[in-house]
Structure 1
């Protein structure tokens, strides 16, 4: 890689770093101006929570990007930029042009997601399996459903009695 190509990649890294750092600061307070959430609809609260989680994830992602860019710039200063940190082979210029912040060749690139990193919420939330049903037969049909609901009562009004009634409400009482 010649000096002109290296300078071009350095400029791209600096531009990307500047773009990330000039991104609007989203350190806004994640509090509502409401005095109480009592009358707020749960869907509105869920939307606010989703927005907060998205912002936090984007902030974490941009921090990760900034760190990668700074590592690539340090490698340029050290004279090791363009050399794979794993195997020591030269990284093709085409790869560096496509991903200037990379420090590995294509063979050592991370191509799998880190499945060990889990969501913070998973430590708090429990699924439905923590309270299993006491039923022995888990198949439920319509009749079983009606019997369960009927335990709470039914509407036995005169209109439900059918042909037994003579049509007058007084005689049905």
Structure 2
């Protein structure tokens, strides 16, 4: 159980950090207002790279500051309620060393490590993951935009043989799409020998 002197000490730390965050957010807001332009029509996109980076960094810092302010407010409420310095999961006292390092801590070290990392990610990542290896599985190759274009290209396009280039011979215009000669269902030509007809074409 923390003494009144210790509670006052940590409360002062929280108030000081809260003031720093308010000052930081105000200064960042002034920067964004100072660097706005009415129109980017006459600017090359590369010229706006630094300004865009600074604005995105400012936005990220503001989001981090908002999260930290929320944690500070929760810690201040815990001081008023008499639950500050007590792990909200197991009810044991949080070590002073941990509170000195993280005054907003509301869990002991053991439960904080087991809590895992909660990322604030876009909602679309519930379906689309950041890991490229998870887009394919062990049983099926992913259907990508190249496959989509091939399916559409089979019905014809405005391309002519000269548009494709190279030394490609096409029997008819139904084959006038990218990689129309690639093997479907096999990786190497020798894999299709067992299922080929007498003239070398794969069985339908």
TM-score band, normalised by shorter chain? 0.5 to 0.7
SS at match of 2:12: helix
Distance 2:110 2:88 in 1: 12
Instruction: Give 3-state SS (helix, strand or coil) of 2:100's partner.
Output: helix
Match of 2:117 in 1: 113
Give the C-alpha shift of residue 2 in structure 1.
Answer: 2.0
Q: Is the 8 A contact 1:30 1:52 kept in 2?
A: no
Paired position in structure 1 for 2:77: 74
From 117, 131, 145, the equivalent of 1:131 is: 145
Asked whether the 8 Å contact 2:25–2:65 carries over to 1, the reply is no
Q: Residue 84 of structure 1: CA displacement?
A: 0.5
Output aligned runs, 1:1-173, within 5 Å.
Answer: 1-23=2-24, 25=26, 26-27=28-29, 28-29=32-33, 32-35=36-39, 37-109=40-112, 112-115=116-119, 117-119=120-122, 130-132=144-146
Q: Which has the higher contact order (CA 8 A, sep 6+)?
A: 1
Give the aligned partner of residue 156 of structure 1: none
1:3–1:60: structure 2 CA closer, same or farther, 3 Å change rule? Answer: same
Query: Normalization by structure 2: what TM-score?
Result: 0.54
- Consecutive unaligned residues in structure 2, runs of 5 or more: 126-142, 151-163, 168-204
Contact map agreement 1:20 1:66 (CA 8 A) in 2: yes
RMSD: 3.2
Count of residue correspondences: 133
> Which 5+ residue runs of structure 1 have no aligned equivalent?
123-128, 136-147, 152-173
| Separation (CA, whole Å) in 2 of partners of 1:149 and 1:96 | 68
1:118 positional shift: 2.5
- State how far apart, in whole Å, the 1-side matches of 2:73 and 2:123 are: 27
SS at match of 2:24: coil
